[in-house]
Amino acid sequence: MNYLDLVQILDSTIRLSTPLLFACLAGLFSERSGVFDIGLEGKILISAFFSAAVAALTGSVWLGLGAGIAASVVFALIHGLASITFRGDQLISGVAINFLAAGMTVLIAQDWFAQGGRTPQLSGSARFSSIDLPFADALRDVPLLGPLYAEALSGHTILVYAGLLAVPLTWYVLFRTRFGLRLRAVGENPGAVDTAGVSVVRLRYAAVLICGVLCGMAGSYLATGLAASFTQNMSAGRGFIALAALIFAKWRPWYALGACLLFGLLQAISNRYSSIDLVVIEIPNAFVLALPYILTVVILAGFVGKATPPRAGGEPYVKER
């Protein structure tokens, strides 16, 4: 493996970690407010379908992005209605959203396009095009840093850079604004927030809506940036991997970036190499492909250290009278 191989793996890592990063930040907002959301997978899937479908029908990737975000927000509101307004079980609501999205996307895709649950291939203005960063061509021949900047950091779509910028923005909103302070307080002690005269329901709905927007961006990027169409179950467990990354990151934005890049790196390695030769032993292709999911199980099993979720997470708030 030479330096250019490492640069190409890093390039793939950034691309593959972007939908995970959006979904991880989405779960971060929701769970920091005390609303556990395992329906990230379903929201990614429904937004991927509607973004690809609308982009295929209109020829505009931006209309597709808007449709994907709108679909994800609708599903987020369903989860909020079930878990916040009706005080239902948040886990069951999330599972229902996942099942609904899995069946609904294939059914509508077959009815609209009759291509076996797929959408037509996207091209031209129906897909996000890559953006070259300033001086990428001029610095390409500079030793070491040139290929890193021109090949790995430049040439991504606008949603990749939006995902990277969302990390410091999330940190600022959660830890440097009044809204973020109240949101975190709702996840820890909603009774105290309610006593201070702040609406717990309004804050939790705001978090759920932000979660819907970010999941919509994750799904839209998946179908119109990373790929060129929607295919059945194309989210491929990314919502659950994002949840594992969130736990691994201990519900902190910067740690979430590192965790998502780690998962993206494992996916990039599994896509690039059919097997890995470690001299002593050769790791087979099946194990390489399973690496991201194995790490997910390891994290969820608690082998990476104790991760303490928000204290009021998963519990519906009942206002005292």
Place of tokens 């940036």: 225
Asked if the model's pLDDT at residue 31 lies above 70, the reply is yes
Structure-token pair, residue 149: 């900047």
- Tokens 């307080």 map to which residue? 185
Residue 289 has pLDDT above 80, yes or no: no
When the pLDDT of each residue in the chain is averaged and rounded to a whole number, the result is: 91
Integer Cα distance of 36 and 79 in angstroms: 10
Neighbours of 291 (CB within 10 A): 17
Residue 131 sits at φ, ψ, to 5 deg, of -120, 130
| pLDDT one-digit tens code per residue, 70-129 | 999 999 999 999 999 999 999 999 999 999 999 999 999 999 999 988 999 999 999 999
Amino acid at 113: F
- Confidence at residue 317, expressed as pLDDT on a 0 to 100 scale: 86
Among 27-41, 53-67, 139-153, 285-299, the least confident range: 285-299
pLDDT attached to residue 299: 74
Q: What is the largest CA-CA distance in the chain?
A: 70
The total of other beta-carbon atoms located within 10 Å of residue 130's CB is 12
| Residue 7 · residue 148 · CB < 8 Å | yes
Assess contact for 84 and 35: CB atoms under 8 A: yes
The reported pLDDT for the residue numbered 158 is: 96
Q: Where are the beta strands (DSSP E) in the chain?
A: 276-277, 282-283
- Chain-centre distance for alpha carbon 146: 30
Give which of 277, 314, 321 is closest to 84, Cα–Cα.
Answer: 314
